[in-house]
Structures are given as structure tokens and as C-alpha cells.
Chains A and B, each alone.
Chain A
Amino acid sequence: MPHHTVFEAKIEHLQILDETGNLDKKLAKDTLNDDQVVYLYEQMRICRALDDIAFKLQRSGRMGTYPQNKGQEANAVGSALAMVKGNDWIVPSYRENAALFMHGMPMHMVIQYWMGDERGSQFPDGVNITPLSVPIGTHMLHATGIAWAMKQRKVKDAAVITYFGDGATSEGDFHNAMNFASVMQVPTIFYCQNNSWAISLPREQQMNSATVAQKAIAYDMPTIRVDGNDIFAVYKATQDARKRAIEGGGPSFIEGVTYRLADHTTADDASRYRDPKEVEAWAERDPLIRTRMYMESVGVWDDKKQEELETRAETIVKEVINTAISVPEPDKADFFNYMFAEIPEDLKKQRDTMRTTSIGRNPSQIGLKAPAQAVAQNA
């Protein structure tokens, strides 16, 4: 056969709950029940409130850079619900707060983290989440490795989900994580939040491919594109992927098509590079609006409930901020104490004297007793 086709592939797109709150009942079968929908809506709303207050905190100078999740929350909550808390691991980026909260991360820790305190990543025992990851596109390999350990130890009913953006798929480590996961056939779910932008770079300049989902074809990895603002589609795709994963079917890829409604972070000004019309159009496709329309249409939600939720969300996030703010300041030498399980002698000396000069480390060199004294004496 001189000229023939040796491989074929296609990418499917899934939407179950459309922009107007209409549900495709057939596709929705065996996905979310109404209680779950309400629960996810609440999670999204609370997360949105956290965004708002964090933004204000940053603007008033009480917090550093913070990346809002606004507009993308359906990806986080829909997928997190399909994963099993306690069994599974999450290897996050930084724009899926609600997923982390649903899997046991105390909410105030994310604020603590963005306030420049590593203790915000010191998750309690049993919370299977790796730290938020600033270096883009490099953490997914850990998801492959953690899932590999699950396979190796024959852990039952366990999988790993890792989140990342459209921009992250350009990094070499994206390719590395996908290739290793598919070769080793480990239970990793690669969830790409394609929000169309990587800071100022639109998706069309990030990649030449029509979809992100097709990148998984390179690895013969099951892959799907879903409406990322549709909690049903997100849930369904993740549920399918997890089922495949725990049954030994290896990794899967999910592209959630979504949009970041806020600036990249509080350090960014998206109006420099984004058409306001584009933002407006996407604001209408906000997952919160859509989910609320659905809930109202099936009679499980009304204005009163909405009001109550908003008040509750307000209360919760204020408390979260208070908790974050009232955490005692870290010891000044905190950053030494976790360098290794056991700190080498020389590092201990650096820590105990907060000095690197030889005389500082050994003040006896100039006949002094302690560094503090040395300063007093000479300054």
C-alpha cells in the first residue's frame, strides 16, 4: 500500500448546560443532581467573593500580587467534585481556588500564601494538594510522578488531577509530563483551563493549533474539549477521565474553554491588550449566571436564597481574611528551618547569627562574644 492512512483522530466538544441555562437532559444523565448543582454554585459564589475582597486588600496595599479566578470557577468546582477527596491528589497552578477548598485546603491559606508567606502552602496532613505553582507549566510532571506512585503501589480508587493554563502548554515540561504519563499509563488527568489569554498573549499566538485538546493526540491520550463554563460538561468529562484512570486506562486530557474576566493578576492591566467587547461578550457567559438560571428554572433557587448566599459568602470571606491576617508573623529565621530535614551546621550558624561574614559567624575572631555585642561596640 504505497499511499495510505495510518492514523486518524478527532476532537469532540461537549456542552451540556448552555449559555442560556438550558440543559441537555440526555447528556446530563448520570452527572449532577440538583443538590450538587446548588453546592457547586455556592462554592463558585464564595470563591468569587474571595476574589473581590482579595482584590480590595491588594489595592489598599495590604497584600501583594493576587490572581483572580473570576469567570473560570466552573472548571474548578465541576472537576473537583468528580475527584475523590482524600484519595486523589491535586497538583494545581494558581487559578482554581475553589477546587482546593473543596479538597480540604483551609481558605485562609491561599490568602496567606499571596501575602508572601510560605506557611500558606503548609497544608494540613491529609490534604493531598501540592503547593500553588508560580513557574508556569512545570508542575504537571509532579502529577505524572504522583500518579505513577499510585500505579506502582497498586493504590485502588485513586487518581491525580493537575490544572494549568493555555499558556502552560507551550512549556517543554507540558510535553514531558504528557509523554511520561502516556508511556507509563498512569492515572493523571490533565485539565487545561484555556482562558484564551496568557497575560497579554492571545491563544492564537500561543499556538498554531485550532484547539488545545488536540495536543493530546501526540500521545494517543484520550482527549476532549468542553465548555469550561458549564459545570455539567466539566463534571462529566472529569468523571469519565477519572473512571478511565482508576480502571487502568491511563491518563486523559481535558480542555475547558473559559475566559478570565479579571486582569491577569492585580499587577496587570488587561485593558492594555484586550478588547473590552470581548470581555463583555464573555461576561454574559459567566458560569455563575448560567448556573443560577438553570437552578431557577428547575425551582431550586430564588432571589432570597441568592441574597442569603451573598451574605453568607461575605461573612465567610471576611472571616477568612481575618484568620489570614491574625496568623502570627513568622519567625524571622523561618526560611532557614525547612531547608532540609536537618539543618547543616554552617547553615545553623547563618541562621543563629543572621550573618554570612566570617566574623559575624565567629565573632571571637575579633574578640567579641556575640554578634549583637559586636555591632553595639563598633557601630
Chain B
Amino acid sequence: MTDDSSSSSVIEEAVRDTPLSERVEAILLIVDEPIGLVALAAAVGSPVPAVRQTLETLVDDYDGRGHGPRRGFELREVGGGWRLYVRENHDDLVAEFIGGQAPARLSQAALETLAVIAYKQPVTRSQVASIRAVNVDSVVRTLLARGLITELFADSETGAINYGTSDALLQHLGINSLDELPPISPLLDDGADGFDEGTIR
């Protein structure tokens, strides 16, 4: 809760204050992709062997071999990393839940973000965020999940992922290529100039 704490002290404080298993769970809850043991250990500020031990304990725990009940999710090591998954025997339940949802419409926020990506690609999340002046993480996730945008490449310096639009978007718009998008300059050019200066390229 110390706002002025430096980076390292945040971890130190957490290490001091809370059990390792909680910190591991906190990270696992928010990772999209499987996270490797070493990266996880760095994130929670504990030695690799201790984290490995904790992961094993959590696997057992979630599988009902600990003190609590079996969980509806499980912790699996896939492709060299760890991630939470729906326990396999609930897959059908989840499939039905997802399939039964109302046909999806994109929110205004998602549409605007999509428009920014369409006109500015390749573009990183933080660049989009600075144009939209809001955090766009979850919206980008939605667009990715919908197949409207794709990850193009990672910036060689920063590692930030650059996004672009997919062919699926072109089909939705009824055009054959991005060249057919109506021009929206000069506003775009102005925005782009100011924006390139302020970000990493």
C-alpha cells in the first residue's frame, strides 16, 4: 500500500507479507499465456525451487488432494509454462455456456479501438491506448478473440506486440484490401505525427 515504494520494495514487501502460494495464484489468475517457471519466480520474487514446489502443491490442492475441495479449474504445465484451465470434465458445460451467449456485438469502445488499429497498423497496444486515452487491454483481447485483429510481430527493441487487422475485418467491411478504407486525413496525419514522437518506434 506504499505508493512511493520502489519497484523492488513492492516485491520485497509482498515476499515478507504474504505466502508464496498466494502470490503465485495472483499471477496465474491474470496470465493469458502459460508462464514459465523462471518468469513466474521473478514475478513473485522467490527462488525457482520454492516456486516449483508451490506449483506442485497448488496442482494437488486444486485436484482435491490438499485440504480444500477439488476446484473447477486446474493448473497445468503446457508448452513449458503454467496456466489455469477449466477442469477438463467441465469443458462441455463451458462450451454450452459460450455457445449459448447472445450473438456478439462489439461495444463502441471495441469498434473505436478496431478503427484505430485499422488505420494505424502496425500498432502496439500502448500506442492505441495513447490515442484512445484509455486502457485498451481488454478490448484488444476481445478483438483478438474475435479474429478481427492479429498479432503481426514483436518490436525488436521493446518486445511490444504490433497488431494489425485481419482478412475477416475486410470481409465484414465488404472491401478487398486496406487501400479501400476511406481516407480520413488530415486528422489522422496530425495524430500520427504527434503520436510517433511520443512513443517507441
- To the question of whether A and B form a pair in one complex, the answer is no
Residues of A within 8 A of B (CB): none
Residues of B within 8 A of A (CB): none
